[in-house]
Amino acid sequence: DTEVTQTPKHLVMGMTNKKSLKCEQHMGHRAMYWYKQKAKKPPELMFVYSYEKLSINESVPSRFSPECPNSSLLNLHLHALQPEDSALYLCASSLATGGQGVAEAFFGQGTRLTVV
């Protein structure tokens, strides 16, 4: 199974709502990532988890809160978002290479988030 599953596929939320994005993989990958992608732009890294520990936070606002409850799951909790946070949120996973650089990353299909 070389699949990364993201739910939901689409999400519309108000600025006062709290919601969560979910990502799941069963490839035994111990590195997991959240990316944000605006239209016609490249994916921008938000967070990196390595062995269930947060390794990289690319200065993401605290209204985005990641969580890695186990080696197969990655969540992104959303609270008090702004309309400019509307984007495609992509989850990815890869083998953890012990500091030798990221191996091939497998991406989910993304959650298209609209903040109203």
16 or 42: CB nearest other proteins: 42
Interface with other proteins, residue 17, by CB under 8 A = no
Number of other CB atoms surrounding residue 80 within 10 Å: 14
Interface with other proteins, residue 31, by CB under 8 A = yes
Q: For residues 68 and 28, give the distance between their C-alpha atoms in angstroms, rounded to a whole number.
A: 14
Which position among 21, 29, 33, 115 is part of the footprint of other proteins (CB under 8 A)?
Answer: 33
Interface with other proteins, residue 71, by CB under 8 A = no
Interface with other proteins, residue 66, by CB under 8 A = no
Alpha carbon distances (Å) from 42 to 17, 28, 37: 27, 27, 6
Interface with other proteins, residue 110, by CB under 8 A = yes
Q: For residues 26 and 20, give the distance between their C-alpha atoms in angstroms, rounded to a whole number.
A: 20
